[in-house]
Amino acid sequence: MFYQSTRDKSLKISSANAIVSGISRDGGLYVPDEIPALTEEEIIFLGGLSYPERAEAVFSKYLTDFTPEEIKNCVLSAYSSGSFETKNVMELKEIAPGENILELWHGPTCAFKDMALQILPHLLTTSVRKTGISKKVCILVATSGDTGKAALEGFKDAPGTCILVFYPENGVSAMQKLQMITQEGENVGVCAIKGNFDDAQTGVKKIFTDPEVAEKLSEKGIMFSSANSINWGRLAPQIVYYVSSYAQLVKEGKIKVGDEINVCVPTGNFGNILAAYYAKTMGIPIKKLICASNSNNVLTDFLKTGVYDRNRKFYTTISPSMDILISSNLERLLYHLSGRDDEYIKKIYSDLSKTGRFEVSDGIKSRLSELFSAGFCTEEETKATISETFDKYGYTIDPHTAVAVGVYNKYTEETGDKTPCVIASTASPYKFPAAVLESLGDKTAYKDEFEMADALYKKSGLKIPAALASLKSKKPRFTESVEKEEMLSAVYRMLQ
């Protein structure tokens, strides 16, 4: 299998090369040149396997240039080394008949980003070795809060790598910020920018694709790569948990193989829900992909009208990891839905960068409405969903998961569709204790995040993740903050 750029399909490279490069030089994203299939027999077989084994099976279909041993080593280092708090890596909890919450936040940073970022460093260092590159790989990350910390944890002290993270100064939760500025490791750097996530992402993309920068670094024996979900090595691991969820529901007898499910995903950069689309294309019978947004509802409008328009007010919400107006991975979906028309993708993305807007063809619009349903939650609706879910089921959810549950509730009310559903739960409520407590009606003025966590524990009985509790005793290491125009000089400074 080869990987091609969404903006130039004549470019064909191995998965190892795609993972090392992150993004294509033409600004496009790498996608597999064919999407592998899963048979019903395979799905039944996967149900009897552990999570790492299921991951091995899925990777072997996408990373065809890796040896079975290489895949096995990556998978075991990521998922069987004790860094996840549950043995199963992910947990499926049925809170109401047919309503399954897919908990993806049992990793070391308590967000679903760990599912991919615990394995990406292993995939990347293996890829570097395979491609014979002798340069040091510098990972540049723009984060809306969770990717940064998950990437820092994944790459800290990984041989032959270093990692630099940019986050929006006022766009992450207090707990997320603490997690990043106290990061340990000899090869890490963290810097705030005066701007929002889109500014950080645009800045990083620009640095990546600037040939002058590449040359300067090359002289120093350094090359850039990406840990954002524009990297195929981030997406492949996310396909695994949708396949795994379906196989598990079959194994537990909750559905029969071949039965349809719906999947509902709280969406920002469109990586997580795109992974569900790949799972569907592989043969997992997903009826509707339900795309849930917060007040930054650019995707809701797009999926309903076919017009993508980022010229709108940007909101800072209680689900900060979804405060995004440019959803990078949408480009991959549109590439597939356009019949791999690279010229077309180049044109609409040039429209987007010139005018902040594009409109897709009628053919794509009708495909979108077959595949997707879309909705959003306001801040009030998100808080109400946290409170209702707690009252009804005694189950505590974070604000991102609440956006998904809220949109799912609206979907079932509007359509009456009671197909069993998997709802992606993307963060531990302890990452956002202030918003969760407020939603649950607790108006106490707590001293800090740790008092809040204790209060939330008393209320919910949910165990406080050890990784968050331990932040209390850690000293801040990274306090630098720069203008968005100064990101490149910050990179050079951090590389010294």
Ligand X SMILES: *Cc1c(COP(=O)(O)O)cnc(C)c1O
Binding site for ligand X (CB under 6 A): 111, 113, 146, 229, 266-272, 321-322, 400, 426-427
CA proximity to 241, closest of 212, 271, 219: 271
CB of residue 239 to ligand X, shortest distance in Å: 12
* Residue reference for tokens 């790459």: 155
CA proximity to 187, closest of 116, 139, 115: 139
Q: In the complex with ligand X, which residue's Cβ is closer, 173 or 187?
A: 173
CB of residue 383 to ligand X, shortest distance in Å: 16
Q: Specify whether the CB–CB gap between 293 and 299 falls below 8 A.
A: yes
- Strand partners for 481: 192
Residues sharing a CB contact under 8 Å with residue 143, sequence separation 6 or more, in sequence order: 149, 151, 165, 166, 167, 172, 180, 197, 200
- Strand partners for 222: 136
Q: In the complex with ligand X, which residue's Cβ is closer, 195 or 268?
A: 268
Instruction: Count CB-CB contacts under 10 A for residue 239.
Output: 26
| Burial environment of residue 361 by CB neighbours within 10 A (0 to 12, 13 to 18, 19 or more) | middle
Q: In the complex with ligand X, which residue's Cβ is closer, 16 or 276?
A: 276
Q: In the complex with ligand X, which residue's Cβ is closer, 128 or 139?
A: 139
* Residue reference for tokens 């990793």: 107
306: left (phi over 0), alpha (psi -120 to 50) or beta: left
Which tokens sit at 135? Answer: 């340069």
CA proximity to 357, closest of 291, 306, 323: 306
Q: In the complex with ligand X, which residue's Cβ is closer, 245 or 267?
A: 267
Q: Specify whether the CB–CB gap between 116 and 234 falls below 8 A.
A: yes
Distance (Å, rounded) from C-alpha 308 to C-alpha 304?
10
Q: In the complex with ligand X, which residue's Cβ is closer, 272 or 460?
A: 272
CB of residue 452 to ligand X, shortest distance in Å: 18
Q: Report which secondary-structure segment, H or E, holds 191.
A: strand 188-194
CA proximity to 26, closest of 322, 335, 272, 333: 335
Q: Does residue 459 have an active-site annotation?
A: no
CB of residue 423 to ligand X, shortest distance in Å: 12
Which tokens sit at 163? Answer: 């990692």
Distance (Å, rounded) from C-alpha 18 to C-alpha 5?
9
Annotated catalytic residue, options 113, 130, 288, 383 = 113
Residues that are catalytic: 113
